[in-house]
Amino acid sequence: MIEVLITVLVIAILIISIIIHELAHGFVSYFLGDPTPKEAGRLTLNPIKHIDPLGSIFLPLLLVISNIGIIFGWAKPVPIDPRNYKNVRTGWILTAIAGPTSNFIIFGSMFLILYLFNLGEVAKLIIWYAMAINLVLGTFNLIPVPPLDGFWLIFNILPDIIRNKILLLLESSYGVVINIAGAFFAILIAKYTVLPIIVSLQSLL
Protein backbone atom coordinates (compact mmCIF):
# COMPACT_ATOMS: atom_id res chain seq x y z
CA MET A 1 0.00 0.00 0.00
CA ILE A 2 2.83 2.38 0.88
CA GLU A 3 4.52 1.71 -2.47
CA VAL A 4 1.28 2.52 -4.31
CA LEU A 5 0.92 5.82 -2.42
CA ILE A 6 4.54 6.76 -3.18
CA THR A 7 4.02 5.94 -6.87
CA VAL A 8 0.92 8.17 -6.98
CA LEU A 9 2.83 10.92 -5.14
CA VAL A 10 5.79 10.77 -7.52
CA ILE A 11 3.63 10.88 -10.65
CA ALA A 12 1.52 13.74 -9.22
CA ILE A 13 4.65 15.80 -8.47
CA LEU A 14 6.04 15.00 -11.91
CA ILE A 15 2.85 16.10 -13.67
CA ILE A 16 2.75 19.38 -11.74
CA SER A 17 6.45 19.99 -12.48
CA ILE A 18 6.22 19.36 -16.22
CA ILE A 19 3.12 21.56 -16.46
CA ILE A 20 5.04 24.40 -14.79
CA HIS A 21 7.94 23.68 -17.18
CA GLU A 22 5.69 24.08 -20.23
CA LEU A 23 3.93 27.12 -18.75
CA ALA A 24 7.33 28.78 -18.37
CA HIS A 25 8.01 28.24 -22.08
CA GLY A 26 4.59 29.62 -22.97
CA PHE A 27 4.63 32.71 -20.78
CA VAL A 28 8.14 33.74 -21.86
CA SER A 29 7.25 33.26 -25.52
CA TYR A 30 4.07 35.30 -25.03
CA PHE A 31 5.95 38.01 -23.14
CA LEU A 32 8.41 38.24 -26.06
CA GLY A 33 5.61 38.98 -28.51
CA ASP A 34 4.42 35.54 -29.61
CA PRO A 35 0.62 35.11 -29.20
CA THR A 36 0.74 31.43 -30.24
CA PRO A 37 0.73 29.88 -26.71
CA LYS A 38 -2.26 32.01 -25.67
CA GLU A 39 -4.15 31.31 -28.89
CA ALA A 40 -3.58 27.59 -28.31
CA GLY A 41 -5.07 27.87 -24.82
CA ARG A 42 -1.85 26.77 -23.14
CA LEU A 43 -1.36 29.64 -20.68
CA THR A 44 -3.42 27.82 -18.06
CA LEU A 45 -2.87 25.56 -15.06
CA ASN A 46 -5.62 23.23 -16.30
CA PRO A 47 -3.77 19.87 -16.50
CA ILE A 48 -6.08 18.59 -19.25
CA LYS A 49 -4.58 21.17 -21.62
CA HIS A 50 -1.04 19.96 -20.93
CA ILE A 51 -1.03 16.25 -20.12
CA ASP A 52 0.32 13.86 -22.73
CA PRO A 53 -0.97 10.35 -21.88
CA LEU A 54 2.28 8.68 -22.94
CA GLY A 55 4.80 11.14 -21.52
CA SER A 56 2.88 12.33 -18.45
CA ILE A 57 1.37 9.08 -17.17
CA PHE A 58 2.36 5.85 -18.96
CA LEU A 59 6.14 6.39 -19.20
CA PRO A 60 6.58 7.73 -15.61
CA LEU A 61 4.51 4.81 -14.29
CA LEU A 62 6.62 2.36 -16.30
CA LEU A 63 9.86 3.91 -15.00
CA VAL A 64 8.65 3.72 -11.39
CA ILE A 65 7.56 0.08 -11.75
CA SER A 66 10.79 -0.93 -13.52
CA ASN A 67 12.83 0.66 -10.70
CA ILE A 68 15.34 2.04 -13.20
CA GLY A 69 16.40 4.66 -10.68
CA ILE A 70 15.36 7.74 -12.62
CA ILE A 71 11.98 9.21 -13.49
CA PHE A 72 11.02 11.85 -16.00
CA GLY A 73 8.29 12.62 -18.47
CA TRP A 74 6.88 15.34 -20.64
CA ALA A 75 3.72 17.28 -21.29
CA LYS A 76 2.40 18.36 -24.68
CA PRO A 77 4.94 20.88 -25.99
CA VAL A 78 3.62 24.44 -25.90
CA PRO A 79 3.38 25.67 -29.51
CA ILE A 80 5.53 28.72 -30.26
CA ASP A 81 6.33 30.69 -33.40
CA PRO A 82 9.82 32.24 -33.13
CA ARG A 83 9.07 34.45 -36.15
CA ASN A 84 7.03 36.64 -33.80
CA TYR A 85 10.07 37.58 -31.70
CA LYS A 86 11.82 40.88 -32.37
CA ASN A 87 15.09 38.95 -32.27
CA VAL A 88 14.45 35.36 -33.34
CA ARG A 89 17.66 33.85 -31.92
CA THR A 90 17.50 35.64 -28.56
CA GLY A 91 13.77 35.03 -28.15
CA TRP A 92 14.12 31.34 -28.99
CA ILE A 93 17.00 30.94 -26.52
CA LEU A 94 15.11 32.71 -23.71
CA THR A 95 12.00 30.62 -24.38
CA ALA A 96 14.00 27.38 -24.44
CA ILE A 97 15.87 28.12 -21.20
CA ALA A 98 12.66 29.12 -19.38
CA GLY A 99 11.49 25.52 -18.87
CA PRO A 100 14.62 24.14 -17.17
CA THR A 101 14.97 27.39 -15.20
CA SER A 102 11.50 26.87 -13.71
CA ASN A 103 12.55 23.38 -12.58
CA PHE A 104 15.75 24.68 -10.97
CA ILE A 105 13.76 27.39 -9.16
CA ILE A 106 11.44 24.72 -7.74
CA PHE A 107 14.45 22.59 -6.78
CA GLY A 108 16.13 25.51 -5.00
CA SER A 109 12.94 26.49 -3.18
CA MET A 110 12.33 22.94 -1.99
CA PHE A 111 15.96 22.61 -0.90
CA LEU A 112 15.69 25.75 1.25
CA ILE A 113 12.43 24.55 2.81
CA LEU A 114 13.96 21.16 3.61
CA TYR A 115 17.16 22.71 4.98
CA LEU A 116 15.63 25.55 7.01
CA PHE A 117 12.53 23.99 8.54
CA ASN A 118 12.00 21.09 10.89
CA LEU A 119 9.45 19.10 8.93
CA GLY A 120 7.60 15.89 9.66
CA GLU A 121 8.57 12.70 7.86
CA VAL A 122 5.73 12.86 5.33
CA ALA A 123 6.41 16.51 4.49
CA LYS A 124 10.13 15.80 4.14
CA LEU A 125 9.41 12.94 1.75
CA ILE A 126 7.14 15.11 -0.44
CA ILE A 127 9.69 17.95 -0.52
CA TRP A 128 12.53 15.55 -1.32
CA TYR A 129 10.67 14.01 -4.26
CA ALA A 130 9.86 17.50 -5.55
CA MET A 131 13.57 18.35 -5.34
CA ALA A 132 14.71 15.16 -7.04
CA ILE A 133 12.14 15.26 -9.85
CA ASN A 134 12.79 18.91 -10.69
CA LEU A 135 16.56 18.44 -10.64
CA VAL A 136 16.17 15.56 -13.09
CA LEU A 137 13.78 17.51 -15.33
CA GLY A 138 15.90 20.65 -15.38
CA THR A 139 19.18 18.86 -16.02
CA PHE A 140 17.74 16.33 -18.46
CA ASN A 141 16.20 19.04 -20.61
CA LEU A 142 19.52 20.86 -20.90
CA ILE A 143 21.19 17.91 -22.62
CA PRO A 144 21.89 19.25 -26.14
CA VAL A 145 20.15 16.61 -28.24
CA PRO A 146 16.81 16.91 -30.06
CA PRO A 147 14.05 17.29 -29.02
CA LEU A 148 15.25 18.70 -25.68
CA ASP A 149 15.58 22.38 -24.71
CA GLY A 150 19.36 22.15 -24.59
CA PHE A 151 19.40 21.35 -28.30
CA TRP A 152 17.54 24.56 -29.15
CA LEU A 153 19.99 26.58 -27.06
CA ILE A 154 22.90 25.25 -29.14
CA PHE A 155 20.88 25.40 -32.35
CA ASN A 156 20.33 29.14 -32.01
CA ILE A 157 24.02 30.02 -31.75
CA LEU A 158 24.88 28.16 -34.96
CA PRO A 159 25.35 29.90 -38.34
CA ASP A 160 22.18 30.22 -40.43
CA ILE A 161 23.38 27.79 -43.10
CA ILE A 162 23.81 25.03 -40.50
CA ARG A 163 20.54 25.87 -38.74
CA ASN A 164 18.61 25.63 -42.01
CA LYS A 165 20.11 22.22 -42.82
CA ILE A 166 19.25 20.94 -39.33
CA LEU A 167 15.67 22.18 -39.63
CA LEU A 168 15.27 20.47 -42.98
CA LEU A 169 16.54 17.22 -41.47
CA LEU A 170 14.27 17.43 -38.41
CA GLU A 171 11.27 18.22 -40.60
CA SER A 172 12.00 15.31 -42.91
CA SER A 173 10.87 11.69 -42.49
CA TYR A 174 13.98 11.12 -40.36
CA GLY A 175 12.88 13.70 -37.78
CA VAL A 176 10.86 11.32 -35.60
CA VAL A 177 13.67 8.77 -35.52
CA ILE A 178 16.21 11.47 -34.61
CA ASN A 179 14.03 12.74 -31.77
CA ILE A 180 13.44 9.26 -30.35
CA ALA A 181 17.14 8.38 -30.58
CA GLY A 182 18.03 11.69 -28.96
CA ALA A 183 15.63 11.09 -26.08
CA PHE A 184 17.04 7.61 -25.37
CA PHE A 185 20.61 8.94 -25.56
CA ALA A 186 19.67 11.67 -23.08
CA ILE A 187 18.19 9.06 -20.72
CA LEU A 188 21.51 7.21 -20.66
CA ILE A 189 23.42 10.42 -19.98
CA ALA A 190 21.03 11.40 -17.19
CA LYS A 191 21.19 7.97 -15.57
CA TYR A 192 24.96 8.15 -15.14
CA THR A 193 25.27 11.85 -14.32
CA VAL A 194 22.11 13.04 -12.54
CA LEU A 195 21.28 9.82 -10.68
CA PRO A 196 24.42 9.91 -8.47
CA ILE A 197 23.46 13.44 -7.40
CA ILE A 198 19.94 12.30 -6.54
CA VAL A 199 21.37 9.46 -4.43
CA SER A 200 23.56 11.93 -2.52
CA LEU A 201 20.49 14.08 -1.78
CA GLN A 202 18.95 11.19 0.14
CA SER A 203 21.18 12.20 3.06
CA LEU A 204 18.82 15.15 3.55
CA LEU A 205 15.97 12.82 4.57
Catalytic residues, which ones? 22
Sorted by sequence, the CB contacts under 8 Å of residue 25 that are 6+ apart come out as 37, 77, 78, 80, 95, 96, 98, 99
Between the CA atoms of 92, 143, 107 and 51, what dihedral angle is there, to the nearest 10 degrees?
70
Q: How far apart are CA 67 and CA 3, in angstroms?
A: 12
